[in-house]
Amino acid sequence: MPKQMKIMGDYSNFFAEVGATSHFVARFFTITGRKGPRSGELLAQCFQIGYRSLPLIGLTGFIMGLVLTMQLRPSLVAYGVEAQLPVMVGIAIVREIGPVITALIFAGKIGSSIGAELGSMKVTEQIDAMEVSGINPYSFLVVNRIMAATFMLPTLTLLSDLISLFGAYIGVNINAVTSFKLFFDQIVRSLSFSDVLPAVIKTFFFGFAVGAVGCYKGFNSNKGTKGVGNAANSAVVVSSVMIFLVDLLAVQVTGLLGFN
């Protein structure tokens, strides 16, 4: 009997968390539709979230393209289709690997940062002080961060894809000599509208998920400094899971629409 009660309690907590998160996200759309973001704060968050993430995203992208090329080459050589290496790497990076890996790195850096920042403001009662001062903390702290994450991740993904393809070019030239123009011409000819558009669109949802989860976890943090750590950790875990769920849904939708 106690075990059954524990299971029921876990389910109850899960659905309560889902309901609270849904209400938190619905509040974002309500406030955004009524007031819109604060342009100055939004630009500041875009700088913090986007520009400061570029070195890590760029380094990860370069290594990803280089390693992927070096791993694929022996298999393609064994089947006598080494010439298709740029095409395969290009499609893999642009369609799936680039957006998902970039989003996961983004979740690890930005999701934890937002969760810890808002969590520390919560436990030190700075958010309560804003409410007492007549400032809507949700509008000032949450809306701008979610919008910045939503719009910056697609930009970072495109840059990461380009850097990854450059890394792939370096990887190809380790064992052979291929001109820069020929390499990228092969990739561009192999890609179509149906490859690029779904990959770009889903990164907006990835960014929204990372921003919303990070803000929710930080905004509802408690239990002092331990709660701040828990908020940062759970923000990364939950947003990473959300990225995979959104990606799975995106694959199904694009398949139904005939993009695959």
**Tokens of residue 137, six digits:** 């903390």
CA distance 244 to 239: 9
Q: Which sign, positive or negative, has the C-alpha torsion 246, 251, 255, 258?
A: positive
> For position 11, what pLDDT does the model report?
54
> For position 179, what pLDDT does the model report?
85
Count of domains in the chain?
1
In order along the chain (260 residues), what is the average pLDDT of each group of 10 residues?
50 76 88 76 90 93 93 85 87 92 95 91 85 83 93 95 94 84 89 87 95 92 80 92 94 79
Buried b (16+ CB within 10 A) or exposed e, 77-103: eeeeebeebbebbbbbbbbbbbbbbbb
Closest CA to 34 of 145, 139, 151: 139
Closest CA to 241 of 215, 213, 217: 213
8 Å CB contact between 212 and 146: yes
Give residue 125's domain range: 2-256
Closest CA to 50 of 118, 144, 151, 140: 151
Number of residues written out for the chain: 260
Amino acid at position 67, single letter: V
Cβ neighbours of 131 (radius 10 Å): 12
> For position 176, what pLDDT does the model report?
78
For residue 21, CA distances in Å to 18, 24, 220, 241 come to 5, 5, 10, 15
